Amino acid sequence: MAAAAAINGAKRNLRAEMKQRLRAIGAEERLRQSRLLTEKVIAHSKYQESQRISVFLSMEDEIETEEIIKDIFQRGKTCFIPRYKFKSNYMDMVKLFSAEEIFSLPKTSWNIHQPRDDEVREEALSTGGLDLIFVPGLGFDKQGNRLGRGKGYYDTYLKHCVQYQERKPYTIALAFKEQICGAVPVGENDMKIDEVLYEDR
């Protein structure tokens, strides 16, 4: 228990530091790095060979994913987006019909567009799973350890993927270079990311 408390304390401290680092990135710099990462994604072999892809809809302090979503539709791939259940750590990935549709979706208290809870949509794991998941986060290290926002949505979802799919989806984190840390403290429920994309790679 003492070890878990120490890890949680270290995570809390790192979250505070990461939020500070993210606040310091100007809008132009955010856009510049987002464009660069969009190019990296589109050139990435895993992206090119994947058909069923999950992408997060960006919050203000995250890499902007709108252009990636447009590209998914242009290439005739299938796009899924997160639908978070608040006051729980449950999330599913539901089908998006078009890139334009995003802006007509209702906004949550976190200011993220997402389909309503009661709206019936194709859910990725019940219709064949996912090939690739783009993962957000507050901080990452080069070994693929991820610091989330503390709710456990993605860790729980990735565990579900392992149970429901024959093959685990490939996971790529999209990060500002400012989000790369020396070492992210991890607990036993934290899932590793296959690859962290950022400006220096």
Binding residues: 11-15, 57, 62, 146-154
DSSP 84: E
Core vs surface per residue 179-200: b (16+ CB within 10 A) or e: bbbeebbbeeebbebeebbbee
Q: Which residue positions form the known binding site for ATP?
A: 11-15, 146-154
Q: For residues 77 and 53, is the Cβ–Cβ distance under 8 A? A: yes
Tokens standing for 81? 């987006």
**b/e 36-63 (16+ beta carbons within 10 angstroms → b):** ebbebbeebebbeebebbbbbbbeebbb
Q: Which residues contact 14 (CB under 8 A, 6 or more apart)?
A: 138, 139, 147, 181, 184, 185
Residues placed in the known binding site for substrate? 57, 62
| Contact between 135 and 171 (Cβ < 8 Å) | yes
d(CA 1, CA 98): 46
